[in-house]
Amino acid sequence: MTAIADNINDLSRQILAGNIGAGARAIRWLDDGDPRGADVLSLIFPHTGRAHLIGITGPPGAGKSSLTNTLITEQRRRGRRVGVIAIDPSSPFTGGAILGDRVRMAQHTVDPDVFIRSIGTRGQAGGLSRSSHDACLVLDAMNYDVIFVETVGVGQDEIDVVALAHTTLIIGVPGLGDEVQAVKAGLMEAGDIFVINKADRDGYDDTYRQFELMLHLRAESVSRNEIDKTASAWSPPLLRAVAKRAEGTVEIVDATDAHREYLQNSGHFVKRSSHREREQFICLLREAVVDEIMEGMDEDILNSILRREIDPYTAASHELARWRGNTTS
Ligand SMILES: Nc1nc2c(ncn2[C@@H]2O[C@H](COP(=O)(O)OP(=O)(O)OP(=O)(O)O)[C@@H](O)[C@H]2O)c(=O)[nH]1
Ligand SMILES: [Mg+2]
């Protein structure tokens, strides 16, 4: 085994050759905000854009990791190399969920064609989508064919992450009244494929009917919206699964494959990819500009706002004008 390179040129070459240690190092640099991470990214970026990104989300404990585990097996059976990014939104330090993921996907950790990474959010706003986007790029450069991104569908940040994938899987489970409501509110729009897991549990039929109804309502509102006709050409399937017995796995992979084909044939694969890159670019730009403005900001301006001497809109445009003056002089 070759040693993992310290310099960015060699490390990038190792990443492109699929070296797992090299990929892990780059992801860590990017996660830590180490500038070497961005340098590596600039070298590997031209070699990305090929992988099929599949987001998996749903309520806590819905069986997302168990399902991902069976999906990896089926993807491997179809000859594909698989990357997994598991996001732990709640506890970047304790890593409780991360440990659970490791256990549930343990059988794949010895397979050189499967790479599983867990990433935390480190608390910063927007950090979640940035770290997961960066990690996806590294895995993409390592030539993984399919990349699963697992996140708990509880907050807007998490929904944003999976909504940026090419294909978004929403996982529901029987008997969770409130969670179904949550799914209704935030996740229905984002889903390309819906799966009701734990179909061995009581209440499956009721949950199935609820989802069916929600999908029906969604389809109606889509067909009324004539703006994006091609988007309505895909009608999201509703599937059943028992992840702990690997039931429904083949059908789910058939569906993600069909969705990929649909995206490619309709030009939406490229569209979704560019939307993703655009979001990332704007996010980075916004962060950099705000940092720079804040750095030179007059502390008193905040006090002036608090004293009602100046309103926040005027204060913001003053600060922007000051920054512009500094950058153009
Ligand atoms: N009865 C039943 N239990 C299941 C099924 N799939 C998963 N479980 C169990 O549900 C629990 C949670 O599974 P996970 O795969 O960790 O769920 P998760 O959605 O990844 O959980 P978080 O990442 O913590 O939100 C575990 O105890 C699993 O064994 C299923 O199909 N049927
Ligand atoms: Mg999990």
Q: Two tokens at 49?
A: 């854009």
Residue 247 CA: nearest ligand 1 atom is 31
Task: List the single range of 47-56, 111-120, 249-258 with lowest mean pLDDT.
Answer: 111-120
Report the topology of domain 48-265.
Rossmann fold (3.40.50)
Alpha helices in the chain, H assignment, sequence order:
8-16, 20-32, 35-44, 64-77, 96-104, 127-141, 156-163, 177-182, 204-224, 249-266, 268-295, 300-306, 312-328
Residue 242 CA: nearest ligand 1 atom is 31
**Residue 243: CB within 6 Å of ligand 1?**
yes
pLDDT digits (tens, 9 = 90+) for 123-165: 555 567 788 889 999 999 999 999 999 987 666 666 777 778 9
Q: How many angstroms does the Cα of residue 61 sit away from the middle of ligand 1?
A: 5
Per-residue confidence (pLDDT) for residue 221, from 0 to 100: 75
For residue 18, pLDDT beyond 80: yes
- Identify the DSSP state of 284: H
Q: Which ligand is nearest to the CA of 171?
A: 1
How do the domains of the chain map onto residue ranges? 1-46, 48-265, 296-328
The set of residues, in sequence order, having a beta carbon less than 8 Å from that of 94 and lying 6+ positions away, is: none
Q: What percent of the chain has pLDDT over 90?
A: 50
In a 10 Å sphere around its CB, with 0-12 CB exposed, 13-18 middle and 19+ buried, how is residue 21 labelled?
middle
**Residue 168: CB within 6 Å of ligand 1?**
no
Residue with CA closest to ligand 1 atom 28? 63
pLDDT digits (tens, 9 = 90+) for 179-208: 555 555 667 778 899 999 999 999 999 889
Q: How many angstroms does the Cα of residue 57 sit away from the middle of ligand 2?
A: 9
Per-residue confidence (pLDDT) for residue 186, from 0 to 100: 65
Residue with CA closest to ligand 1 atom 1? 198
CA 136 to chain centre: 8
pLDDT digits (tens, 9 = 90+) for 89-112: 554 333 444 555 566 677 777 788
